[in-house]
Amino acid sequence: MSCVQATSKENPKVEALPSSLDANRMPAHIAVIMDGNGRWAQAKGLPRMMGHRAGVEALKRTLRLCSDWGIGSLTAYAFSTENWSRPGDEVNFLMTLFERVLQRELDSLEKEQVKIRFWGDLTALPKRLQSLIDEATDRTSNNKGIHFNVCTNYGGRRELVLAAQKLADRSLKGDLDPALIDENIFASELLTAGEVDPDLLIRTSGERRISNFLLWQLAYAEIHVTDVLWPDFDANALTQALVDFQSRSRRFGGLEPIAPAEQI
C-alpha cells in the first residue's frame, strides 16, 4: 500500500487510478457504512459470521485502494452503539474478529504508514480488545499515510451529548464563556477533532439511512448508496462511487458550485 499514485506498470502492488476519475477532484475523506454482510452470507447459504469475515477482506481492499488513490482518510462504521442488541454469539464473534484482525494486520498497517484510530465508547469493549486498540493507536500515531478511523461502539447522538457535557463542564469551571461556543469549539470536543469532515458517505446494500453515523460531520457530505453488498465492494464499486461524487455540483448551501479545487 502506498499513498503515492503510480501506474500498475511502475509498481504492480499499487492500484492505478482509473481513467474515469479526475485525480484533482478526489474526496479528502470517505466515510463508509459497511452494510450487507449477513445478506451476503445468507445468499450463499453460509452462516452470517462468514459474511463478517468477508467484510474484513472488503475493508482491507478499500483501505488499500483509498491509500493508492490518494484519499487522505477512510472512516468505517464497524460497530454501532445499537449493535449490542444483536444475538450474543454474533456480538462475541465480532469482538473476537476485531481482535484477530488487529493482531494479524498491525505490523503491516504500521509499515504501510497507516494512522489508525478508533472512535466510540471503547471502555465497553472487552479488555483484550481495548489493549490491542491502545497498542495500534500508539504504534501508528506518527504515521504519515492514510488516516484509517474505525468507529467501534460508536453512536453519533452519544458523541454529540458527550461533547455538550464537556463544554458544559468547561463552562461550569469558568474556563469557557457559553456565549463564545461556536461550531469550531463544538467540533473540537468531538471524537473526530482535528479530522477533516467526510466529503463522501458510501452506504452499501441499498439502505438509505445514516443510522446514527457521524451526524455532525456528514452535514455537507455527498451520499452514494449502492446495492452492492459490503463483502462484494471492490475497485469497480469504489470507482462508481467516486464517479458519482465527481458528477455532483457541491454548493454548500450557496448558489454557485464551488470550484473543484476548493471543494475538498
Q: Which residues bind ligand FPP (CB under 6 A)?
A: 34-39, 52, 55-56, 59, 78, 83, 98, 101, 150, 205
Q: Which residue is nearest to ligand FPP (CB)?
A: 38
**CA terminus-to-terminus distance, the chain:** 23
**To 5 degrees, how large is the angle CA 194–CA 33–CA 55?**
115
Q: How far is the CB of 259 from ligand FPP (least distance, A)?
A: 35
Residue number, 73 or 205, with CB nearest to ligand FPP: 205
Going by C-beta distance under 8 Å and a sequence separation of 6 or more, which residues neighbour residue 96? none
Q: How far is the CB of 191 from ligand FPP (least distance, A)?
A: 16
Pairwise CA distance, residues 129 & 118, whole Å: 11
For 117, the grid coordinates are 484510530
Which of 11, 35, 182, 236 is catalytic? The answer is 35
- Asked if 38 and 55 count as a contact pair (C-beta separation under 8 A), the reply is no
Pairwise CA distance, residues 110 & 131, whole Å: 16
Residue number, 14 or 56, with CB nearest to ligand FPP: 56
> Any catalytic annotation for residue 83?
yes
Residue number, 205 or 226, with CB nearest to ligand FPP: 205
Residue number, 86 or 248, with CB nearest to ligand FPP: 86
> Any catalytic annotation for residue 35?
yes
Q: How far is the CB of 195 from ligand FPP (least distance, A)?
A: 17
Going by C-beta distance under 8 Å and a sequence separation of 6 or more, which residues neighbour residue 252? 220, 258
DSSP symbol at 10: T
Which of 37, 83, 121, 142 is catalytic? The answer is 83
DSSP symbol at 219: T
Q: How far is the CB of 100 from ligand FPP (least distance, A)?
A: 8
Give me the active site residues, please: 35, 83
